[in-house]
Homo-oligomer: A and B are copies of this chain.
C-alpha cells in the first residue's frame, strides 16, 4: 500500500489554528501571530514541492535539475549562463549550483566550458574567471517535454481559489516577498541574538 509511506494526508487532522491555540494553552504569552501565515506557507510549499517531484520522477528528472534547465531555457538563445548568473537567479548557494551542474553534465543535459576570454565584456564588467553552462539538445528537449506538464498540474491545484482570490493572493505574496527580502538584506540577523 502506498499511504503507509506518503504523508500526503499529513497534518490534515492538525489544522494550523490548533497550533497557535496549543501554544496559548501551554505557554500563555507566546507570540503566535506569525503562525497563521508561516505554517501554511511551509505546508503548501512542501505539498507543491513533493507533488512536483512525483510528477517529474516519471520523466526521470529531479526537480533541482529541471530548475537548472528551466533557468537556462528561459534565458533564451543561446541558452547559456555563467555559474555566477545561475547562482543569482536560483536562491541556492554557489556550492549547490556546482553540484547541480555536475549532475546535469553527467547526464548530458548541459555542458560546461571555460568562460569567454574575459577581456572586459562590452559593458565594463570585468568578468574574472567564469564558467559558462549551456543547455544541450537533450537538455532542451527535456524542458520542452516537461514544463507544460508541471505548470498545468500546478494550475490545477490552485483552482480551489477563484480567479479573484488567486490575484489577491499573488499580490499579497509579491508584496511580502519583496519586503522580507529587503529586511533580510538590511539587518542580516544583526539584532537577533546577544549584543555581540
User: Residues 11-43 of chain A: 1 if any B CB is under 8 Å from the residue's CB, otherwise 0?
Assistant: 111101101001101110011111111101111
In the assembled complex, the CB of A158 is this many whole angstroms from the nearest CB of chain B, namely 6
> How many Å lie between the Cα of A7 and that of B166 in the bound state?
28
Q: Which chain B residues lie closer than 8 Å to A87 at the CB level?
A: 7, 10
A31 touches B152 (CB 8 A): yes
- Considering the complex, give the chain B residue whose CB is closest to the CB of A48: B38
Judged by a CB distance under 8 angstroms, whether A103 is at the interface is: no
- A42 to chain B minimum Cβ distance, whole angstroms, is 5
**Bound state CA distance, A75 and B184, in angstroms?**
33
Contact of A154 among B10, B34, B92 (CB under 8 A): B34
Report yes or no: B89 in contact with A180, Cβ–Cβ below 8 A: no
A48 to B76: give the CA distance in the assembly, Å.
31
- Per a CB cutoff under 8 Å, which of B27, B43, B49 touches A147? B27
Copies of the protein in its oligomer: 2
Give the CA-CA distance A165 to B170 in the complex, in Å: 12
- With A5-B94, A94-B5 in contact, is A180–B44 under 8 Å at CB? yes
Q: Could you say which of B37, B74, B154 contacts A170, with CB atoms under 8 Å apart?
A: B37
Interface size on A, residues (CB 8 A): 92
Q: Using A2-B188, A34-B151 as known contacts, list a sample of 15 further A-B pairs with CB atoms less than 8 Å apart, ordered by residue number in A.
A: A8-B188, A9-B184, A32-B151, A33-B155, A34-B157, A37-B170, A41-B44, A44-B45, A44-B177, A46-B91, A48-B180, A54-B189, A55-B189, A55-B193, A168-B172
The verdict on A195 contacting chain B, using a C-beta distance below 8 Å, is no
- Tell me the bound Cα distance from A92 to B12 in angstroms: 12
A151 touches B192 (CB 8 A): no
Whether B170 contacts A157 by the Cβ 8 Å rule is no
- Check if A102 is an interface residue, CB within 8 A of chain B: no
* Interface CB pairs A-B, < 8 A, 16: A7-B92, A10-B91, A14-B88, A22-B76, A26-B73, A26-B76, A31-B155, A34-B158, A36-B170, A37-B169, A41-B45, A47-B181, A157-B184, A161-B176, A165-B172, A168-B168
